[in-house]
Structures are given as C-alpha cells and as structure tokens.
Structure 1
Amino acid sequence: MSETDVQRALDWAVAEGGVPGIVADIRDGDRRWFGAAGVADLETGAPRRPGEYAHTGSGGKAFIATVLLALAAESGLSIDDPVNTWLPGVLDRNGYDGDKITIRHLLSNTSGLFSTGMAPELTSRYATRAAFAEHRFDAFTTEQLLAMTVSQPPVGAPGERFEYSNGGFYVAEALIEKVTGNSLAEEIERRIIQPLGLTDTSVRSAQDARYPDPHPRAYSTLFYKDGTDPAAVTPENWESVMEEPGLDPLDVTEYNTSWAPANVVSTTGDMIRFVGALAGGTLLPPEQHRAMWTTVSTEGGNWTPHTRYGLGVFEFDRAATGGLTLRGVGGSFWGCLFYTVGTADGEHTLSLQTNTEWKSWDVLFRVIDAEFGVRLNG
C-alpha cells in the first residue's frame, strides 16, 4: 500500500480518465489518509474536500438488504419466503411468479427480473440532454416503480442466473414497509444510522433533489445520441448508442433520484463505517452475516467485473485479488460513482467517489490496486 501510488491513481483519473474530481478516503487500523484530485466545481475551480455529501447510488441496496436481514433475525420473516407471502400478487404478471421468487432472489439479483435500470419508463426521461432538462425533477411513486419492475418479461427462471436489477430492491423496500408498518427511511435510521453513529447519512425524500453542504457539483455525459429509441436499448448494445466523446459535461447536481433504491445520501467517512461493519460482521447476527456474504457469480449480468454478488453487497473474486478477500458496496448513475471496499475484518477500508458516473473500470481498479496491492487492472 502506497499513498503516493493512490494519489497517482487519483491524478490519472482526472488527467486521463474523464473525471472532473475524485476523492479517496482510507481507514486502515489507526492509519487515516484522504486524497483528492480535480475539482468539485468546474466553474469556480473549487477543490474536492473531506466530508462532502454525495448520493450512494446503488450502494443503497446494501441498506435495504441489511434491514431485511435484521428483520429475518427477529421475526417470522425468512429470506427464503416467496414474495407472495408478504406482497401477494405484486409480481404476478408478464411471466413472473411471486410464488417462486423469494426475498433472497430479490436481494441477490437472481430473481429473473429484467435490468430495470434499462426500462424505457426510466431511460426516456434522462436518455438525452433535452429529455434530462425536461424531466430532471420528475418523481416516481412506489406504484410506478413496482409497475416498471415487471414491465418487461423475465430474463430467466428464479435462481437461474444473475441479472443486475433495481426492481428487486423496489419490491424489497415495499416488503419492508408492509412488514414493519414503517417507512424504509425510519427502519434505516433505527437499524443502521443510529447504531453506527452515521451522522452524515440520510434517506432523501422522494421530493428532494438537494444535497447538504459541502457537496461537489455533479457532471454527466451519460446520454444517448439524438434520435435513439430508448425502448431499443439493451444491456448488450447500450454503449453503441451513447453520445460521441468530447462533448462538455452537463451539470446534473440537482435532479430527482426517487427511483434509486433506498435513495441514500452519505459521505466517504460514513460509508467506511457502514461497510466496515457489514464486512466485519458487527452489524448483523452471524447467521444473517453469512447469508449476506454468500455470493453468486456476476458473469454476464451487467455488473462490476471480477466480482461475486451477495445480498446487496459484492466481493471481488479471489482469483483476481491474489487470494485477498475484498468486500464492498457501490454503484454509479448520472453524475456520481461511489464505491467503498474493504477487507473481511472491516479494519482496512477505502471509499472512493467521483462527481461523474462510471467512465471505465480503470478509475476504480487503479485506486483499489494501489491501496490493497492487488491487480484488478491487469
């Protein structure tokens, strides 16, 4: 591990990786280090800084999974219950069967649900720069999200394969609220935020599009070429219809993210504490901890390379890390990439955030390689 190497990777991300600004926050026992490169604001040139708030993107899936596993530890709920046990009929359409899809299937992305992030109902609102400008403050209701979840046919039978799908977590959130009678935000506050002292973490309401200060501006080039039909875009062809490189990024700091699973806003410091607790087993009982980290292959499933997926969380394949177990939470969407990765004991954790979306895996992998001494980047 070399702080010089980590800083060099951050500098590369800005100079060659297409990232406006990037931070890396590290906790390794008593060692603390924070590095940054680039800017938080392209207009003012303000630098990135510690303690900035950002959206966790699909990192919110880990919050949902944690709440459900905690419920399983204390109630009659089992993660092997069919969805119809708790939400009768919600999945029973368009070829899906809620008697066969279990809670575990939802949380492990093995339900057979299609890749909901590619649904035309969502992408048409943000597909082009013009559409984004028109729809950026549109909010999704729970009913709309659940309808979108089953709006296209299954990609496989339950348990057959991994396919990264936000829809499973929309259903999981509705299930939590049905079982507890509370909002997901209340359950996350009670079961995660308060016990871990995550003072800089919150669930953003469906109507809110703002961040607390300090926060970086968020920039995106994640748009289709003009004239693209969102309904024709698939997980296999999406890269071919993206805008040509070289266009100025669009400021997307303020837009509605009610479609993001859990809709969590946090900081690198809080995410280090959260992921450290999940990886090290201090937040969930042993049985539920084991269930969370029982993983499936993500190959061909529209997700991070060299990984296996658990329940809302992932592990890097040990063949790619030279035998080192690295566990993580992360995601990317318009204007944000936020990944937090650490060792299985929860003692050595890195949290990385960029104020633009995924550009290439080189950005993430170079930083992880530099800190943990692995070779994900080849």
Structure 2
Amino acid sequence: MTNSVSGGREKVQRMLDGVVAELGVPGIVAEVRDTHGSWFGSAGVADLESGRPRQKGEHLHVGSAGKAFTAAAILRLEAEGRLSIEDPVEKWLPGVLDVNGYDGSRITLRHLLSNTSGLFTTGLAPELTRRYATRSAFNEHRHDIWTADELLRLAVSQPPLHEPGAAFAYSNGGFYLAGLIIERVTGNSYAEEVARTVTRPLGLAHTYVRPAGDTGYPEPHPRAYTGLFLRDGVDPADVTSENWQSMLEEPGLPPLDITEFNTSWGWSAGNVVSTTGEMIEAFRALATGRLLPAEQHHEMWTTVSTEGGHWLPHSVYGLGVFELDPAVTGGLRLRGMAGSMPGSHLVAVGTTDGERTIVVHTNTEAKGWEVVFRAVEAQFDIPPVKGL
C-alpha cells in the first residue's frame, strides 16, 4: 500500500495538499499504519530554493513530542525502584526551587510531568524571548548553547502561576527539572537514559536526543522555515499567553531558513530527532503499554484537564502525552504526542490499541492547532472539529 493513494488514503492526501495550499506550510508529510497496511504521502517541498520534494525517512525535530520520552524514562526508573513520581522535587534537587515563591517540598515529579506544578510558561521567559523573538535577535543567537544550569534558572525566573496541582499550565521548566532528576538519580546523562529506557528497547536506530552543540541533521532531512517573529519595536516583556498573536509580524514576509539552529534550549522538554516511521513505533509502544509495566503505563495515561492552560483544545494531558475528547472524535478514544518549535511541527495520533496511527510533520512551526485536527479528521473519518 505504501506510496499509493488507496485504501481510504485519498482523504489524507487531500488534507496534505490543503494544508500547503491554505496554511502557508512549505512542506508536509504523513505516515500512516492501520488495517490497510502502511502508507506515506507528502505535499509541498523540503527546500523552497531548490523545490526538492519531501520524502520518506527524513530526520525531523519532534519538538515537545520528546516530553513523552522524558516521562517514559522517569517511569522506567520508578519501575526499577529508583524513585517515585510522588517524590517531591526537594528530595532529588534540594534547594533548587527555593526561589521566587516556589516550594520544592510541595511539587512532585507527577506535577512536573503533567504540567500541573505551577511553574510559569517557560517559553515566555524574558531571556528566551530576548534572544529569539525578532529576526535580528534570532540570527544573532541562533547558535547559542544552553546548559542545564541556564535552563534551570530560566525555569524559575518568574513566580509560580498557581499552587501545585491546582491547574494545568504548559511549562518546559517542569521537564527541565525532570531531566536534572534523571541525571541525579542515575549518574548518567539525560541522553544516555533516554537511549537506555526508550530508544534502544524499541529499536529506534534513527531516534536520539540531539547533542547540545549540534546544529545539523543526518540526511535526508527537510529545510526548516519560520515566520514566527514579533514585529519590530515590540518589547518581548509585553508579550503574554493571551496577546502574543497580536504582536507578531505582519503576514506576507518571506520565511527565514533556520535549518542550522541550535535547539539545546529544548533539552529534556523536547530536543529529540526522529523520523515519522520511528515516531509511529514510539507512539504505539507508549499508547498500548508495550514499553512500560502496567502500573507505570496507567500513570502515564492518567490525565488532567487542559482547560485554561493555553494548549491543545479538546484534550486532556497525561505525563508527556495527551488524549482527545471523544465528543469531538466521533466517540473514538485517541491518544497522541505533539510538538512545535521554530521550523518544525509534529503530531502523532492513534487509537489506544495502536492499530490505527498517523504521524504528520510540517517543516514550519504550528500557527495554531488546525493541522492536528485536519489530520485526525482525515485519518479517522470524523466530522470537522469546530471552535479551533
């Protein structure tokens, strides 16, 4: 079935063509595995300059879909008896949260991995937006390397949003702390533990945590493009999770090629490189319980509401993963992993038994959540989701 538009794939191919034509995406790919077999489709280009098409097997940055790898590594350590997700952060990182009103004795590993810790939205930290918010600043800082200590300071540089466990607020900072705890518990690097607990057990030969100094990708790979910049004259300190879209550049400016871009600021919150095929394998293992023991699998998929958290609508969040509301999926129970960063947007969605799965990637960041729901609508044959 691969590389042919058959077995119900026409809707998926139309979705790909429509995303390129209507949403300003340079190129998009989808890989599907279901009862009809495997299929790969694409639209648009991998390289705007040469017009080279996108292809199967490209190496891609998966962005925050990598949070699922961090959660899986923590849960494997729990299964080995080396920690508990109910442990307070203070147990493993004493004194680290004694700043800006945080309390490490009240924030647990579960809070970190479920985005309910109260940590502020790290992506809006002034130091981060200062370096990357405008085209000129981005070009000046695109090769900056972030250390774990710098990321920790970034994570707690603003006061908490709420009490631990009181609400959902998407925060890379919680996953930075989880990465530090993985290293403290094991004595190994975060990358080594992801390899030991996730990628090697699943045989993912093309999936890895990107080294801190790396600014390239193995071949083949698409070029990465972004147009997500603030207008000249906007002070990044004035940007909030409510007004950021109104602060962006005017539409119509050419995208910037950012393929050579250091992404070490993602670290344990999302700095994984993979392929669409291997992300299908990772998703299926996590969705079905093939990777983790039953207790830890249950914990990963114990979810909280994301309402008011400025994240994917119609969803609930587990530990690094999400489920969609059956009310918008025609009653289907669909699980997923998703990530967006400058120049890359990936989503993996499938049924709980892993039998019907789609992974989609665009070589530009998410402008919203429309690509996610268009992919779900096409693959799972559900009505359009309203209110995005």
Q: How does 1:194-273 map to 2 (within 5 A)?
A: 194-260=200-266, 261-273=269-281
Show CA shifts across 1:178-216 (max 9, x none).
000001111111111111110111111111111000000
Instruction: Specify the code of the residue in structure 1 equivalent to 2:11.
Output: D
Cα distance, 1:82 vs structure 2: 0.5
Instruction: Specify the code of the residue in structure 2 equivalent to 1:325.
Output: R
Kept in 1, the 8 Å contact 2:62–2:270? The answer is: no
Kept in 2, the 8 Å contact 1:280–1:346? The answer is: yes
Query: Aligned partners of 1:30, 1:162: CA distance in 2, in Å?
Result: 38
Cα distance, 1:121 vs structure 2: 1.1
Kept in 2, the 8 Å contact 1:56–1:266? The answer is: yes
Cα distance, 1:376 vs structure 2: 5.2
Tell me what 2:332 maps to.
324
Query: Aligned partners of 2:85, 2:73: CA distance in 1, in Å?
Result: 11
Cα distance, 1:262 vs structure 2: 4.5
Query: Aligned partners of 1:18, 1:359: CA distance in 2, in Å?
Result: 9
Cα distance, 1:231 vs structure 2: 1.4
Task: Tell me which of 147, 158, 164 is aligned to 1:158.
Answer: 164
Query: Aligned partners of 1:149, 1:351: CA distance in 2, in Å?
Result: 30
Q: How does 1:40-189 map to 2 (within 5 A)?
A: 40-189=46-195
Q: Percent of counterpart pairs with the same letter?
A: 62
Compared with structure 1, are the counterparts of its residues 181 and 108 closer, same or farther at alpha carbon in structure 2 (3 Å cutoff)?
same
Cα distance, 1:360 vs structure 2: 3.0
Kept in 1, the 8 Å contact 2:29–2:41? The answer is: yes
Kept in 2, the 8 Å contact 1:2–1:370? The answer is: no
DSSP 3-state at the match of 1:353? strand
Query: Aligned partners of 1:81, 1:363: CA distance in 2, in Å?
Result: 37
Kept in 2, the 8 Å contact 1:5–1:370? The answer is: yes
Cα distance, 1:120 vs structure 2: 1.2
Query: Aligned partners of 2:95, 2:270: CA distance in 1, in Å?
Result: 22
Kept in 1, the 8 Å contact 2:87–2:108? The answer is: yes
Instruction: Specify the code of the residue in structure 2 equivalent to 1:307.
Output: S
Task: Tell me which of 347, 358, 363 is aligned to 1:350.
Answer: 358
My pick for the range that moved more, 28-37 or 167-176, is 28-37
Query: Aligned partners of 1:61, 1:247: CA distance in 2, in Å?
Result: 32
Show CA shifts across 1:294-328 (max 9, x none).
00111111211111000000111111112211111
DSSP 3-state at the match of 2:201? helix
Tell me what 1:367 maps to.
375
Tell me what 2:23 maps to.
17
Instruction: Specify the code of the residue in structure 2 equivalent to 1:377.
Output: V
Kept in 2, the 8 Å contact 1:306–1:376? The answer is: no
Tell me what 1:305 maps to.
313
Query: Aligned partners of 2:230, 2:211: CA distance in 1, in Å?
Result: 28
Task: Tell me which of 346, 364, 382 is aligned to 1:338.
Answer: 346
Query: Aligned partners of 1:375, 1:283: CA distance in 2, in Å?
Result: 32
Structure 1 residues not aligned, in runs of 5+: none
Kept in 2, the 8 Å contact 1:18–1:359? The answer is: no
Query: Aligned partners of 1:207, 1:149: CA distance in 2, in Å?
Result: 21
- The two structures have a TM-score, normalised by structure 2, of 0.96
Query: Aligned partners of 1:209, 1:300: CA distance in 2, in Å?
Result: 35
Query: Aligned partners of 1:165, 1:42: CA distance in 2, in Å?
Result: 33
Kept in 2, the 8 Å contact 1:184–1:262? The answer is: no
Query: Aligned partners of 1:186, 1:27: CA distance in 2, in Å?
Result: 29
Query: Aligned partners of 1:284, 1:375: CA distance in 2, in Å?
Result: 34
Cα distance, 1:124 vs structure 2: 1.1
Cα distance, 1:30 vs structure 2: 5.7
Instruction: Specify the code of the residue in structure 2 equivalent to 1:269.
Output: G
DSSP 3-state at the match of 1:34? strand
Tell me what 1:274 maps to.
282
Aligned residues: 378
Structure 2 residues not aligned, in runs of 5+: 1-6
Cα distance, 1:29 vs structure 2: 4.0
Instruction: Specify the code of the residue in structure 2 equivalent to 1:365.
Output: F
Query: Aligned partners of 1:204, 1:82: CA distance in 2, in Å?
Result: 28
Tell me what 1:283 maps to.
291
Cα distance, 1:347 vs structure 2: 1.8
